[in-house]
A and B are shown apart, each in its own frame.
Chain A
């Protein structure tokens, strides 16, 4: 294991940022820590880097099987990339990247020519060789973040930690850099942990996603696992748009708003409050009732400009419902505003109170 975190807790005053968190990251893996703001993901990253200390007496941080809990950030050989780049503004790009090599104690410091070769190799890696003599203030956000990454890689880090690296960039640059980081990681295979609050980014970039909420880890798994088999209502809700139907479960039946379906989980001897969560693409529209479980609804708005058609409806019982159809399906149905149709769920995730869940 490259990174092991055991039973870490951290408080800031009365705020519990981390509650007994444990995490392992395999060598060469790219793991995303995903969660809403205040979930503790950045605190966990900073504790791994040594920029914050866990509460005394709790837990351990191990890097490459070595206990570094008591070590200072500088001796951990961790590459850290900050959300706001944190480039040294009075140094050129070259000097920024060379910094980690130049501050080494004399016996370990590479020769000038070696430093130069190394910096240019890194600039080539991030495809910005022509910027060596510029100052950070003269670069765009995307360029700055690539330079920050090169600077972090210059010390040949054992692990690379990225704190919301694309958070300050616009949507388009963010997407480009995301793909670029993915390719870079496949080439370098440096064990990396990336913090983000953007679920799309986490699912696209990471080998494994760790979802955090209120100082705890809610679920770990591959992007497919967490997306298709969410362990909790929070996760399903967090990972993209959902329709939520409030209701109850009785025996093997679920009554969720306008919807009445078989409940696939344990037999419930008493009535329990429950919620059914359905993603927009898990709902289909039929022009006539065909015996499948579903409900009547009226079309309020259709947005067909995009790869998928977004349809807003109002169920007869009043709930607003969002459905996503493929363009083909939309073409077959020939829907119109105000039309009364049947909404049929393909899949419903039912979450019964007290943490039990099933489909």
Chain B
């Protein structure tokens, strides 16, 4: 094709869309409104966090992390997430494997229960543990008698974190596994593979991106959780303070630089999560798509 015909082709393409696109002012208006909204509610606050954190200079910013209580809060948050994620990962994989690949009594009940933490307000879920394990709770006296402390201690924080992050992995994996069906597993079993071989060689590789996506979401929630943890923590500095709780304390003490500096840590975590999430999501969609292709008739030579 010579350049002139290409040019004509290009021109006709640019002229033709009249029928399928909106007039210019509508497009400008709609996109403009969306951009202003995003700027006002996302970009400005995000910038404000870093601006406030650095308002006392870089030295003051870094100083905030040298504080013993800040370090303890970071350690506790990492610990809680470090326990909650592996546990929910194992649970999530087991539950979605069971729900997607097998038929059993109580399946719909289990599916509904997995979503419970999404439906319940985090404050309530924290309160449930206080009512259960607190000194005046149902199990409180027994726990006190055996010198086990759950409420206002690290175990309570881990439990609350576990509860609120419970659905993330399962919720990502169930639709994925359902779309992929059980045929590959059946093929593996008929070829002589055992249960674990089938899981590690066939099932796990097929869901790895969906699993990673679920773990990223799980981690973001585990580290950022405020409500549930706030109720059960008791806010004991250096002992039961997580990063979000520490931010609140610093802010209430009018230590704005400290509060925003620690908050910037969570903001950075959110940004990293966002990037990882987009990457994982992209691969995860491919997994899902391949799963769905199974249903359609493939093309021939």
Of the candidates B186, B187, B191, the one having the most CB atoms from chain A within 10 angstroms of its own CB is: B191
User: With A and B bound together, what is the CA distance between A104 and B189 in angstroms?
Assistant: 11
- Whether B297 and A103, one on each chain, are in contact in the complex, defined by CB atoms closer than 8 angstroms, is no
Interface string of A147-169 (1 = CB under 8 A from B): 01001101100000000000011
Identify which of B186, B193, B299 contacts A140 (C-beta below 8 A). B299
Task: Please tell me the number of chain B residues within 8 Å of chain A, measured between CB atoms.
Answer: 24
Given the known interface contacts A86-B184, A88-B184, A89-B290, the answer about A74 and B298 at a Cβ–Cβ threshold of 8 Å is no
Interfacial chain A residues near B194, Cβ < 8 Å: 74, 103
- Whether A50 and B190, one on each chain, are in contact in the complex, defined by CB atoms closer than 8 angstroms, is yes
Interface string of B172-193 (1 = CB under 8 A from A): 0000000000011011111111
User: With A and B bound together, what is the CA distance between A88 and B202 in angstroms?
Assistant: 7
**In the complex, how many angstroms separate the beta carbon of A26 from the nearest chain B beta carbon?**
22
**A38 within 8 Å of B by Cβ?**
no
- Whether A88 and B188, one on each chain, are in contact in the complex, defined by CB atoms closer than 8 angstroms, is yes
Interface string of B151-181 (1 = CB under 8 A from A): 0000000000000000000000000000000
Chain A residue nearest to B186 (CB atoms) is: A51
Interfacial chain B residues near A77, Cβ < 8 Å: 192
- Whether B206 and A89, one on each chain, are in contact in the complex, defined by CB atoms closer than 8 angstroms, is yes
Interface string of B196-208 (1 = CB under 8 A from A): 0100011001100
- Whether B300 and A170, one on each chain, are in contact in the complex, defined by CB atoms closer than 8 angstroms, is yes
A-B contact count (CB 8 A): 89
Given the known interface contacts A80-B187, A141-B297, A141-B298, the answer about A103 and B206 at a Cβ–Cβ threshold of 8 Å is no
Q: Which of B287-301 contact A (CB under 8 A)?
A: 290, 293-294, 297-301
Task: Please tell me the number of chain A residues within 8 Å of chain B, measured between CB atoms.
Answer: 38
**In the complex, how many angstroms separate the beta carbon of A28 from the nearest chain B beta carbon?**
21
**A209 within 8 Å of B by Cβ?**
no
**A82 within 8 Å of B by Cβ?**
yes
- Whether A78 and B193, one on each chain, are in contact in the complex, defined by CB atoms closer than 8 angstroms, is no
Given the known interface contacts A74-B193, A82-B183, A103-B193, the answer about A142 and B300 at a Cβ–Cβ threshold of 8 Å is yes
Closest 6 CB pairs of A and B: A100-B191, A86-B183, A141-B298, A103-B193, A86-B187, A80-B190
19 contacts between A and B (CB under 8 A): A50-B190, A73-B189, A74-B189, A74-B192, A75-B192, A79-B190, A82-B187, A87-B187, A88-B202, A99-B188, A99-B191, A140-B300, A140-B301, A141-B300, A151-B187, A152-B190, A154-B191, A155-B191, A173-B301
Chain A interfacial positions (CB closer than 8 Å to B): 49-51, 72-80, 82, 84, 86-90, 99-100, 103-104, 137, 140-142, 144, 148, 151-152, 154-155, 168-170, 172-173
